[in-house]
Amino acid sequence: MKKLFRFAFCAFALLAVLTLRAQPEAPNFPLPVRPDTLRILGVGNSFTDDGMMYLPELLEAAGIRNVVLGRLYYPGCSLRQHCEFDAADAPKYTYYKSERNRWTTVSEAATLREAVGDERWDVLVVQQSSAYSGIYTSYHPWLERLIERVRFYCPNAGACVAWQMTWAYGSGSDHGAFPKYDNDPQQMYAAVVDVARRVTEECGIETVIPTGTAIQNLRAGEFNNPPSDFTRDGYHLDFGCGRYTAACTWFQALVAPCLRTDIGGNTFRPDPKGHTPVTDESAAACQQAARKACVRRFSVWE
């Protein structure tokens, strides 16, 4: 069975390489191929919301109805704050769930223990608060502790721990943490990538959702709109191409290898309501930015 899985995943990776004509970084994805039900929980904050919000619609458009999604949200929550909430078993989170490709609110006062214990999650996604995402010293010992706790609470002992690599702020951002990166999106992206490389190796994280790289890929193209750079306020992604690209990246990183599918050609188009519109042309660019990021996770496509 292990040999069959390795062969299947290698074939998928090779297809991506041939399609995109680039040398990929080595993937590391321990999930089963074509599970009866794929269950993904995001433990994070508003950046987790940005990444996951459009996933149900992408799944529906792809004809996929056997994916359960969960989002555990507390605004601006850092790794340290997650650990402190858990130590107090504090009901601080809003817990959202999608079982039939539609988000519903399960609880507005959930604990980490309750949400992680709610399903036999296959993937547990964690991330750092955006302000500290490129600050290495902010990760330890909190990342190790959080991984330890979510593994302990999850009914599925074989669950995969994944990391969402967040994105650099827009060039016009007035976020209070932006001066840590000299108000430079390129410098912030480089710091985020450097830390992501280090902590994923150090902490046994099994796969990366390279949202930050996908957004940088998109910003290098014709649809970019500086100084917003696909954000609605300088740091949260806009409701058009920004969130759409993030959701495409989650789909391509987690759903595609398991269910033998691909984000390319997905027909879902969100209504951006004044944000960068997702047209057929820009949707193709968003999907390609995500696909490229999942082949080359830690550098912008050239």
Residue 19 in this model has a pLDDT that exceeds 50: no
pLDDT digits (tens, 9 = 90+) for 140-181: 999 999 999 999 999 999 999 999 999 999 999 999 999 999
**b/e map 202-238, b = 16+ CB within 10 Å:** ebebbbbbbbbbbbbbbbeeebbbeebbbbbebbbbb
User: What's the DSSP call for residue 179?
Assistant: G
Place of tokens 């990342």: 143
Sign of the dihedral defined by the CA atoms of residues 46, 255, 186, 285, in that order: negative
pLDDT digits (tens, 9 = 90+) for 184-237: 999 999 999 999 999 999 998 999 999 999 999 999 999 999 999 999 999 999
Res 31: pLDDT: 66
Read off the pTM. Answer: 0.90
Name residue 105's beta-bridge partners. Answer: 96
Strand 67-73 and strand 93-98: pairing? antiparallel
- The stretch 279-293 carries a mean pLDDT of 98
What is the pLDDT confidence band of residue 29, given thresholds at 50, 70 and 90? low
